[in-house]
Each structure stands twice: as structure tokens, then as C-alpha cells.
Amino acid sequence: MSTLIKPSTVEHPPPASSLGNTQWTTPDYTLPTPSLQFLFHLECDMEAFRHIGEGPYGDRSTVIFKGGRFEGPRLRGEILPGGGDWEIVRNHDRDQQTAHLNTRYNLITHDGATIYLQTTGTRTGAKSVLEKLGSDTSITADQYKMRLNLTMETGDERYSWLNSGVFVASSGRVGGQVVYDAYELL
């Protein structure tokens, strides 16, 4: 049983040679431990959710993004209206729920570059908490877990480093907004 990992810490792997259920060919090969570098803070304004219903992949809802803003040390700008989230919600035993998130939207930087941003991830926690996220602004992001994988594309050379980066975010929802802090995985 593993211990609870605190925020902003990294659990280092044990030596491969100590993992005794597998015959390793390179047990002493050492890999670098990744780190996170802050990329930007983002606030996305949303329209009301549209419930599509139970379909072949689960209980689907969509929401269109009205706009928003983002800023970090290397880029800043606005979220263009018209993107959205196409999520599937699954209920689990006892009061647990998971939303599988799938978003797409365009960012425009302060200096005119357009960046396509796609995220996938999950929002999971107590169903009684998650079902109130749009209306109860007293719910805090530490009452559930919402994590994202980000993929970005641009043809603008000034931001071409985004095309090959690996990015993650810690996210939350408050009222009609999604808020997150994005990081580059180094």
C-alpha cells in the first residue's frame, strides 16, 4: 500500500532490480525524474451545459466556451469563443462519479499567434459534490480531482516549442468557469 503523495512532490521509482516479479535485462539503467515548469494560468468562460443523454459511449453532455484568458511567463492572451467540451459522465459505486473530458479550443496570443489547444482528462469525486459545480461556488478544487493532458499546435515559429512539448494541468470548475494551471513536463 503506497503512502499519500503530497502536492508538488515526486514519488521516485524504486530500482528496477528491486521489482522481483520480472526478469529485467537492464535493471541498472537510470532514467531522469521528470519535473514540472509552470506554463500558464487559464480561465475559460462557459455557456450552459447541454445534456445529450445516455448514448453508446455513456452519458454525454456538451458545453461551448464563450472565451477567456491565459497568462504565463512565456505566453499570454485570450481564448477565442467557439470551442467546447464533449464529456462523458460515469457513475460508480457509492457516491462516486467520473467525467471523461475532451476539449478543443483556440487561443490567440497577445502578439497574434493562434494556438490550437486540445485537452483530455478526468474530473472525479463524490457525485453529490460534482453535480453542484455549476451552481455552488463554495465548492473548492480540493474537494474533487480534475487533471488534464494538454496538446498544443501552432504554425507560428515563435511558439513552435509548443508543438513538441508534453503538458499537464491541475484544474477546477467554479460557477460558469473552468480554471487551470498548466505545466510543461520536463
Cα–chain center distance at 119: 6
Phi, psi of 120 (to 5 degrees): -130, 150
Please tell me the distance from the alpha carbon of residue 40 to that of residue 181, in angstroms, as a whole number. 6
Fold of 33-185: Porin (2.40.160)
Phi, psi of 4 (to 5 degrees): -70, 130
18 residue type, one letter: S
pLDDT confidence of residue 1: 35
pTM for the model stands at 0.91
Report the chain (186 residues): mean pLDDT per 10 consecutive residues. 72 86 86 94 96 94 97 98 96 92 98 98 96 92 96 98 98 95 97
Q: CB burial class (10 A; 0-12, 13-18, 19+) of residue 92?
A: exposed
Beta bridge partners of 179: 43, 172
Question: What is the residue extent of each domain of the chain?
Answer: 33-185
Please tell me the distance from the alpha carbon of residue 155 to that of residue 8, in angstroms, as a whole number. 33
